[in-house]
Amino acid sequence: MKSYRKELTFNVPARRSFVNITGDVEGALAESGIKEGLCLVNAMHITASVFINDDEPGLHRDFEKWLEGLAPELPHNRYAHNTYEDNGDAHLKRSVMGREVVVAVTGGKLDFGPWEAIFYGEFDGKRPKRVLIKIIGE
């Protein structure tokens, strides 16, 4: 069995954003040479997320509105975590959206259903953060 590891770095200029990283993951898969196996993609920061869903702007606005309703950014003093930083809401949003995804690799391609894409979700941006891609298989 082979394994391949690659890190992506994002520095999103806004506090929150959703970035389609499907092409980056497909590129890593091509670099790996792996044709059959599994591909793990995970956020390496506790205020960011990786998830699979549709690449549709209205859905992304719905996510933003829904997440802000669940864990509003303001006022910052609503969160006990905000003793040292003002990102308590970002930790909660990450918990809802998830840390990672695993996608089957079949015939050298990501084995997606219709409309599926991989996204990096940023909830406390304006600084560099990493995403890990780890591919194992033959």
CATH number of the domain enclosing 60: 2.60.120.460
Radius of gyration of the chain, Cα coordinates, nearest whole angstrom: 16
Q: How far apart are CA 68 and CA 31, in angstroms?
A: 38
For 1-35, write each residue's pLDDT tens digit: 999 999 999 999 999 999 999 999 999 999 999 99
Q: How far apart are CA 12 and CA 97, in angstroms?
A: 17
Q: What sign for the dihedral angle of Cα 19, 90, 42, 132?
A: positive
Q: How far apart are CA 86 and CA 73, in angstroms?
A: 8
Is there a cis peptide before residue 57, judged by omega within 30 degrees of 0?
Answer: no
For 44-99, write each residue's pLDDT tens digit: 999 999 999 999 999 999 999 999 999 999 999 999 998 788 999 999 999 999 99
Which residues touch 105 (CB under 8 Å, ≥6 apart)?
29, 34, 35, 36, 37, 38, 39, 111, 135, 137
pTM for this one?
A: 0.96
Domain count for the chain: 1
For residue 56, give its domain range: 2-137
Whole-number pLDDT of residue 82: 82
Whole-number pLDDT of residue 86: 93
